[in-house]
Structure 1
Amino acid sequence: MDTRSALIEATAELLAHSPGGDVSTRAISEAAGVQQPVLYRLFGDKNGLLRATVDHVWDQYLGSKRAAEKSEDPLQDLRAGWDSHTAFALAHPNAYKLMFSSALGPEPEAAEEAMRILREVLERLAKQGRLRVTPDVGARMVMSANTGVALALITRPALYPDLALSVMVRDAIHRAILLAPAADTATQAADAAAQDARVAAATTLLSFVDELTPRPFTPAESALLEQWLAQIAGSGRTS
């Protein structure tokens, strides 16, 4: 392994185990077995090294996408792409946050490749007549939503404790950009309307459970009712 690669690998390892997401150039140099001036000579500054490290970590993730065989259904690939993006963020939170940090200067190359791979999937959907927006617009909508959810999950876990949120937002965005096949539109529209009505009813009841007077349920019964209504309200998600 050459010196440049050793520094990137050391940075990636320290970054992955850093509670706060920060690493010092001294710690990096020591882990790589080189003097600090070498680091600056190769990368210019710490941000240059971090940018190279982010590209390295993301390249490993994108490598699996490059190697993945396309399924017959691009929608399946679109869903899988979203889920793998969220899973990567949860597995590499510090590198993920750095990917979208303006402090690193120029956008890492991996960001452009991730967008290109996503756009290719949407172009396949467009050729099948299933996209209601252009692939470029769709890619920006999907990427911004996926990024937002992933950052929320890793930076504010107390506010966003339910990992299923990613799937719910995924399906909402996909409904916004996709058209149902013509033959299925009427049936799917009716099913969706019925499902929306059930979810709306459960959500409405859930908001009033604590306000019912006189209280018709024991605390245990109220807790159970709230659990059931919450399950119905969340049943609009699909896998």
Structure 2
Amino acid sequence: MHARTTGDATPAPASEAAAGGRELIRRHVIEAAADLLAREGREAVTTRAVAAAAGVQPPAIYRHFADMDGLLEAVAEHGYATFLAAKQVDAHPDDPVEDLRAGWDLAVEFGLANPALYALMYGEPKRGTTSAAFRAGMEILVGRIRRLAAGGWLRVDEKLAAALIHATARGAVLTWLSLPDDQRDPALLTTLRESMIAAVTNEKPAVQDAGPAGAARALRAALPEQTTLSSGEQHLLGEWLDRLAADG
């Protein structure tokens, strides 16, 4: 058998071909486990069932994953990557609050459409925090929050906002999935979403002109009413804010 060749007819190194084959098998195993999870639930994801679905011998699984928990972690990572691919990012939304609603709805819809996978991804407090795809998804959320803050819409600290948004979406899905079918009222999801919106955003933007200059003018106007800073600190901050406002 001849070695696989590249486009310039140079034989690919044997180690490269072997690594590609291992990665292909690993991906097949993860996809087989994810499919079993979706169709039959977590209890169906056994070594024997996954091996049969992936077309490999059971010992082959343990050449790629330390144990079944390692395979489930990989399936969860596959889920985060799938969810990330479904996200649409608008760097300049016309309405950043509606953009937040849409992002929250997308997260909830993904969970309702993939209940077993979502439960695996988010059912344990620490799962996913080291996942590259999870972190990339959180960066998208951070971007949404930052646009809210820049436009004067944000009511709370950015970190608290991220925690509230993420917690309400996760809680909404897991609560919904825990309910009997006849008790699943869509009003639960709408109410949770709007409660999150009310907690995180202002009804009207505190800054009329988006950007540093508008924010500086808004803060400059409120500065005389605050008592946290000393007179010297207040004077210095006032100078900085005046310079930022003048640049706009």
Q: Do Structure 1 and Structure 2 share a fold, with TM-score over 0.5?
A: yes
The one of 25, 29, 33 equivalent to 1:11 is: 33
Q: Can you give the 5+ residue segments of structure 1 that lack an aligned partner in the other structure?
A: 185-239
Aligned-pair identity in percent equals 37
Q: Which residue of 1 aligns with 2:112?
A: 90
Structure 2 vs 1, CA of residues 125 and 6 (structure 1 numbering), >3 Å: closer, same or farther? same
Q: Which residue of 2 aligns with 1:145?
A: 168
Structure 2 vs 1, CA of residues 160 and 176 (structure 1 numbering), >3 Å: closer, same or farther? farther
Tell me how far 1:141 sits from its aligned partner.
0.7
Matches for 1:1-239 after TM superposition, within 5 Å: 2-19=24-41, 22-65=44-87, 67-70=88-91, 71-102=93-124, 107=129, 109=131, 110-158=133-181, 160-179=183-202, 180-181=204-205
Q: Could you say what secondary structure the match of 1:41 adopts? A: coil
Q: Could you say what secondary structure the match of 1:143 adopts? A: helix
Q: Could you say what secondary structure the match of 2:186 adopts? A: coil
After superposition, the C-alpha distances for 1:21-74 in whole angstroms (9 at most, x for unaligned) are: 541111000100111121112111111111111111221221121x54342222
For the Cα contact (< 8 Å) 1:14–1:28, is it kept in 2?
A: yes
Structure 2 vs 1, CA of residues 75 and 20 (structure 1 numbering), >3 Å: closer, same or farther? same
For the Cα contact (< 8 Å) 1:99–1:108, is it kept in 2?
A: no
Question: For this pair of structures, how many residues does the alignment match?
Answer: 183
Tell me how far 1:113 sits from its aligned partner.
2.9
For the Cα contact (< 8 Å) 1:55–1:108, is it kept in 2?
A: no
Q: Could you say what secondary structure the match of 2:90 adopts? A: coil
Paired amino acid for 2:57? Q
Moved over 3 A (4+): 19-22, 67-70, 101-108, 157-160
* Greater C-alpha Rg: 2
Q: Could you say what secondary structure the match of 1:181 adopts? A: coil
**CA RMSD after TM alignment:** 2.4
Which deviates the most, 30-39 or 156-165?
A: 156-165
Give me the whole-angstrom Cα distance separating, in 2, the residues matched to 1:39 and 1:152.
33
Question: Normalising by structure 2, what TM-score?
Answer: 0.67
Tell me how far 1:112 sits from its aligned partner.
2.8
Which deviates the most, 126-135 or 100-109?
A: 100-109
Question: Normalising by structure 1, what TM-score?
Answer: 0.69
Paired amino acid for 2:205? P
Paired amino acid for 1:181? P
Give me the whole-angstrom Cα distance separating, in 2, the residues matched to 1:159 and 1:141.
28
Give me the whole-angstrom Cα distance separating, in 2, the residues matched to 1:56 and 1:146.
20
Q: Could you say what secondary structure the match of 1:133 adopts? A: coil
For the Cα contact (< 8 Å) 1:16–1:94, is it kept in 2?
A: yes
Q: Could you say what secondary structure the match of 1:43 adopts? A: coil
Tell me how far 1:130 sits from its aligned partner.
0.8
Paired amino acid for 2:165? V
Q: Can you give the 5+ residue segments of structure 2 that lack an aligned partner in the other structure?
A: 1-22, 209-248
Tell me how far 1:122 sits from its aligned partner.
0.5
Which deviates the most, 7-16 or 114-123?
A: 114-123
